Chain A
Amino acid sequence: MNNLDNSRKRSKWALNYQKQCQADLKKVGMPSRNAEYWKFTSPNLWETTDLISVGEKNFLENDPQYIENRPEYYVEFVDGIIDPVTLQNLKKKLKECEISDFEESVCDQFHWANKLLGKAETKARKSYERPFALLNGGKSSQGIFLNCKESPRKPIHIFYSGEIEDKVNIRHLLKINCDTELHIIEHFSGNAKYNVVTEGFLDPNSTLNHNRLVSRFLKNSIITHLFVNCMESSVVKTIGITLNNGAVRNETFLNLEGSQCDVTLAGLGLGCSQSSICDNTVFVAHLENSCKSRQIIKNVLTQGAKAVFQGKIYVDPKAQKTDGYQMSNGLILDEKSNFLVKPELEIYADDVICSHGSTSGSLNTEHLFYLKSRGISTNEARKILVEAFLEEVIEEISDLEFAKFVRKEIQDTLI
């Protein structure tokens, strides 16, 4: 399997998109530190080399332990390649959704995705260029395309595992039909340098619940893009948990094209080393009336870690009665760590409520004394307060089992 073979089989619509991405990337170029949204983190951290070549994979399908520890609905990408067994199992179990992997989808001339692929991304590029997404569009050969027709009863988990340290491009496409709800939970625990782009298309009155956990064991750089187009009364809740020691950049673009949408973006970062960078770059475009958006960012930083939050709320002249909120808090535990914040409001409507705020500080000494005065050690008291600081984001996670898992991961990271 290589890029050339894939391109021969691809349908015209997919090839056109791929070529367009490659051409646009050539025109736009990869970002430099001078680009407006790359001033705080160097794009060199997410270097731009070719897609991995794929050899024989051991997908561990016969290992019962491996199956046992996985939830009911899941697919796994091992070293960036979809494990076919997990895909087949998911297709069998999940009757509520039409599921195909990337290659299957793009080789089908009449696939439902043919009018959607790249459309949310194109809208996002109107705010500012997304060269890494173009790079992904020009190279991807892996991912899942999911057409949600009825609400699955449980979240669908996507695992990214594996040992190799190459660069991996993965592309997902989600279509959520009217009155349905889809919950996706992504787990990054592999060693690869991931570039993952997810496009979501929400029909009226549908819901996307999305969680992303970047494991504390990861050292390599990851860049993700989530581009979501929202029709009227749709709901998005996306929560990113970043615990690793490498560089993570999450670019999110929520396009509120219908009225009365309700979107929440929450980001939690726990950086405990000098190589740890957590960058959340968010753009919420209010294009119609009466939509509500919330952005909540919490970063704990120590040992020279860095966090970046660039969050913009754009309100179109048509988007009256917009309710926009943005809050970022940094808890900085030493003098070497940095929290860099760029909040932006761009408002062209007059009847709106938009607020934003940002705080950075160290642990509250009064709180510390209260806990210590009960016999709790300084170290334990600090841990309790760090966990408490992050709890506001964890409370947003609707899947209680996953929330419990995240709390445990945070506790283990803090030891």
Chain B
Amino acid sequence: MLEIKDLKVKISEVDKEIIQGFNLKINPGEVHAIMGPNGSGKSTLSHAICGKEGYEITGGDINLEGNSILELEAQDRAIKGIFLAFQYPLEIPGVGNLSFMRTALNSQKKARQEKELNPAEFLKLVKNKASDLSVDMEMLKRPLNVGFSGGEKKRNEILQMALLEPKLCILDETDSGLDVDAMRQVSQGVNALRSPNRSFLIITHYQRLLTHIKPDYVHIMVSGRIIKMGGPDLALQVEEKGYGHLIANQKN
């Protein structure tokens, strides 16, 4: 599904290489977690995969289903099936939540030459998906993320993911700002979307999200590179001993 080969990424503004030779392969249906301390380059990685401007790829390649996506703009990567659930979903006053979601879905359908949904068809679809995530009509009618609580914002992200049905879902610290109940609800939403054809890349600081969403592989990222890879147990090890222990081992 996703293959990242020797990726090097620089943030144009500060002229600093944040990702330094990063490798990762995710097969269809797999769930990979990337854990790491602050400043290890996790969010930079997610932005680089999604094609955010201001991130310069200085080396390596990112392939989706065998094809390089480096030349594609963010919207074209989304159309190819990449979805990023934002760490801090943006509040955009004046943009209706519902009309934003319909525009997004229809933009993707149009690009894939599929039939677009009219407002009635879309409303039926969204109501169906929203009820599973406890997103009510009132939330859908409000401006995009404006005045939403932390939990509401994250549930709204997962709702978009459910509507757009991407091939690769990247969750950037989706657990940040969530209480225990909200985390359970969001995780249930994510688990419901797991399928043999859909892959997940979960970026998190903490092990707790991974008790709800069981990963197949856990990677530890430090200073823009993966220093250790393992199964779900590795996350438990981090929880117990911290990143310092792993970094020290790496140095030795």
Contacts and interface: CB of A to CB of B under 8 A. Distances in A.
Given A377-B107, A380-B103, A372 B93 contact: no
A370 B86 contact: yes
B73 A372 contact: yes
B107 A380 contact: yes
Interface stretch (B74-82, B191-199, B211-219, B220-228): B74-82
A61 B163 CA distance: 52
A388 interface: yes
A367 interface: yes
Nearest to A392: B94
B74 A373 contact: yes
B108 to A, nearest CB: 4
A384 B100 contact: yes
Contact of A392 (B75, B93, B107): B93
Interface of A is mostly: helix
Contacts of A384: 95, 100, 103
A381 B107 CA distance: 11
Interface residues of B, number: 28
A392 B86 CA distance: 26
Contacts, number: 75
Interface string A359-382: 000000111011111111110110
A365 B53 contact: yes
A372 B103 contact: no
A389 to B, nearest CB: 6
Contact of B75 (A378, A390, A391): A378
A378 B53 CA distance: 12
* Residue from A366, A373, A391 with most neighbouring chain B CB atoms (10 Å): A373
B107 A375 contact: yes
B2 interface: no
A290 B167 CA distance: 60
B84 A373 contact: yes
A252 B103 CA distance: 39
B186 to A, nearest CB: 18
A372 B92 contact: no
B245 interface: no
A369 B87 CA distance: 14
5 contacts: A372-B74, A373-B50, A373-B86, A375-B107, A377-B75
Interface of A: 365-367, 369-378, 380-381, 384-385, 387-392
